Structure formats: C-alpha cells, structure tokens
Amino acid sequence: MLWGVGLAAPRSCVADLSRNRSLSLGWCAGPEEPPPAFYGGEIKTLYLTGGALLAAAAYLLHELLAIRKEEELDSKDAIILHQFSRPRNGVPSLSPFCLKMETYLRMADLPYQNYFDGKLSPQGKMPWIEYNHKKVSGTEFIIDFLEEKLGVNLNKHLGPHERAVSRAVTKMVEEHLYWTLAYCQWVENLHETQKMVSLFGPFSDLLKWIFCHLTKGIVKREMYGHGIGRFSEEEMYTLMEKDMRTLAGLLGDKKYIMGSTVSTVDATVFGHLAQAMWTLPGTRPERLIKGELINLAMYCERIRRKFWPEWHHDDDNTLYESEESSEASKTYSPLQDFSFYSRTETFDEEGNSISQTPDTDYTGHSLFDSDVDMDEYRDHEQCK
C-alpha cells in the first residue's frame, strides 16, 4: 500500500515524503510569480531554513501516522480500538475521548485489542473501532453500535429521568468542559504537555515541539469557532469551575455519578476529569479537583483502581489511598502499548493466559469501591 504526505507553504516550497521515505522539494509558483530558474539541476534560490522546517514537519507527520510493518487486521468477532499512543507519564491517553472509550470497554467487560497506528477514521475522528470489518467512529456511535451488536448496556438500571440526566451531563462535559480543559492542556500548560507526548526518533524533541505548537494553534482556532475561545482566559476558567462544581454537586457522596452502579456517563466524566487529575500539574483544574472538590478526586481514584489496576503513578497522593491499597499500588505493572485486554483475563507477550479477577489486582489485594470511600474523606475534612 502506497502513501504520501505533502506539505505546502503559502507561496513557495512543497515537501513530499513518500513510502520510500525520500524527501522531495518542489516549487509552487503563485498566479503572478514565475517559477525560479534552474541551473545544472539545482534550484537557484533555496531557503534552507524553510526547507529544513518543511522536512521536519514532513517527518513529524510520518511519525504521527506511525507507519509500521504492514499487516492485515482481522476484526472478525474482535474489537480493534484505534487510538493515540500512550503518553510518557503513565496516563493511558492525553485524549479524554480515547480514555473514555477504553474505560467504557473495561466497564462493559468487553475484550479488545489496542492499535496505536495513529490513523484517523474516515470521518477524521479518534478513537474509532473495527468490529467484523465494520468501522465506527465517534464515541457515542461506537457505544450505540456495541450495545446493538453485543447486547451490552451499562444504563439498563437507569430509569427515563436518569437517562435524560445522564445524557445532559455527557453533553455538558463533552461540549463545554472539554474545551476549557483542552485550553489548559494545549495552550496554557503546553510546556508540561510537551513532556508527556510520546514521539521517538532522531529529532524527537524538535518533532514534539512542532506537534505541540501545531496542536495549540488548532485548539485555539477550534475554540474560537465553538465560541468559548472568544472569552478571556479568566472567563473560560470561570466556566470550567462552574462545570466542575456541577459535577461535584451531582456526585455528592455517591460512588458513581448516577448512584451505586457504574453507567456510561462515568466513562465520559472519568475520561475528562482524569486529565485534570493527572495531566495538568500545578494548574487551576488540578488544584480545584484535589482541593475543594476532593470528592471528584476520590471518584477518579475509585474508577482507576477498579478498571485500571495496572495504571500507577509514582507521585500518587496518599490522601485518596487506604494503607492496604497504598502497598498494593507499588506492584502495578506498566501500561502496555499493544495488548489484548480483558478485565477478567489478560495475556502476556507470548499469549499465555494470566488469570485476573475484575476486583483484584495482580497481588490479590481488593480493588472494591470500599477501598476509597467517603468516610475517609470526612475524617480528612474533620482534621482540617
């Protein structure tokens, strides 16, 4: 399969990086600009700096596409989850929607295969899935598709009113809170985010810088088109605080957003709040969730322990941990880039089965919700 990437500057050079990794530069003349003269097959005027930047950008796109050894994906009766590569800080994804989708699959106990190929869906979306050679993108449509095909339904215990509230909360988080967190992640806190981005190669630092600043420009443009980006930074953070306080008030002292049982909205809320909890050090969202709105922090920890037993941070705040779970956390395995995952059974690199129950980690310690309950929170508050 052939592929090619072309980059065009506003007026002059075009860089093309083909499958054979050769780089060619050509000249695109404007409507009133004659092409440059060639002498002995060489371009008379060559802007070395511009050419180098174009070459670096082309190489960046090559890395982002994550071109790997070609292989046919067999999605017969298997869920193939396409998403961005794991970041370097141990968090499963810097994308709230990728984290939402993978968390949902674990909540529904659906085995899946991660595929970090960097390839967007035909609609230009990430994440997306393949199942029985059917491609579906957009987390809402993916969930609807899986419910129809596989008969799973995390919301079957909800009544009509609760389903309506759940959808309203989902839209508030995905269409409003998302943008303020994206601003914090890719604009205000870009320097820290750049450290987390996973790119490799001889020019990885330069490529990460280019990628992050390109993303910053895209986020700002999209936010302006959305409308929320037309407000001042302080006004945007005011909106963010209102959303987070709404979630904290709705959650209260419950285990999950809609009660004692997990539902689809929890995958959505967790995917977004996890960004504030673990990817935005020192920022206003992190200070808010780990301070005044600590019930949201405990909620995130509760979901992480139950559905992500291998996800561990060296700088975990022990405020959210019991003595038993704190000891257990030291033995968690790192997240794997490529793995077939099932919440009840997983496999090592050689394909050997490793038994794992839904509510225990690899050491056998309990991961039930009671490990992080509101009594611990109340005791902490009384000590203040």
Q: What is the signed CA dihedral for 244, 250, 255, 258, rounded to 10 degrees? A: -120
Per the listing, tokens 């509101």 go with: 374
Q: Is the pLDDT of residue 25 over 80?
A: no
DSSP string, 318-348: GGG--HHHHHHGGGPPPPPSS-EE-SSEEE-
pLDDT in tens, 352-361: 433 333 333 3
Cα separation of 65 and 69, whole Å?
12
Is pTM beyond 0.85? Reply is no
Q: Which two tokens stand for residue 347?
A: 């496999």
Contact 345, 355 (CB under 8 A): yes
Cα separation of 78 and 132, whole Å?
7
Segments in 136-177 forming alpha helices (H)? 139-150, 160-172
Q: Is the pLDDT of residue 202 over 90?
A: no
Contact 283, 189 (CB under 8 A): yes
pLDDT in tens, 136-172: 999 999 999 999 999 999 999 999 999 999 999 999 9
Q: Are strands 79-82 and 112-115 parallel, antiparallel or unpaired?
A: parallel
Q: Is the pLDDT of residue 123 over 60?
A: yes
Domains of the chain and any CATH numbers? 157-310 (1.20.1050.10)
Cα separation of 272 and 180, whole Å?
11
